[in-house]
Amino acid sequence: MADVNRGDRPLSPHLQVYRPQLTSITSILTRITGNALLVAALLIVWWFLAAATSAEYFSIANGFITSWFGDLIMFLSLWGLWYHTLAGVRHLIWDNAMMLEVEAAEKLGWAVVIGSVVLTVITALIV
């Protein structure tokens, strides 16, 4: 028989006591950056298609891509690309049953975060 006192209990007690960990945050961020990179790729394809269509249409697309907002999107996409790449390497390491201990996994997480920022800045300065 169904419990009639369900209203007195919290629905998800695990959400009230859960403390986000670096490994969970980096895993979620890997999924977010993967989807964001798809959006950035669509913007680049739009830019190429506009270049192949007409000068007027290209000026619209190029104006958006080279605006401050477009520059911000491309810079964040560059960070997302580095982050997603390094997170993929981290998962390849884990797939080989290496560095699965909590301390080692946290070190890998910080390496992904710090490495992606450093590589983004280096790439932006070089290009």
| Report field, pTM of the whole predicted structure over 0.85 | no
Q: Mean pLDDT in runs of 10 for the chain (127 residues)?
A: 61 70 92 94 96 95 95 95 96 94 94 97 95
- What pLDDT score does 6 carry? 61
Contact assessment for residue 37 and residue 77, using Cβ atoms and an 8 Å cutoff: yes
- Alpha-carbon span 60 to 83, nearest angstrom: 30
DSSP string, 10-30: -S-HHHHH----HHHHHHHHH
- Alpha-carbon span 76 to 33, nearest angstrom: 9
Contact assessment for residue 29 and residue 83, using Cβ atoms and an 8 Å cutoff: yes
- What pLDDT score does 12 carry? 64
- What pLDDT score does 19 carry? 80
- What pLDDT score does 58 carry? 96
- What pLDDT score does 9 carry? 65
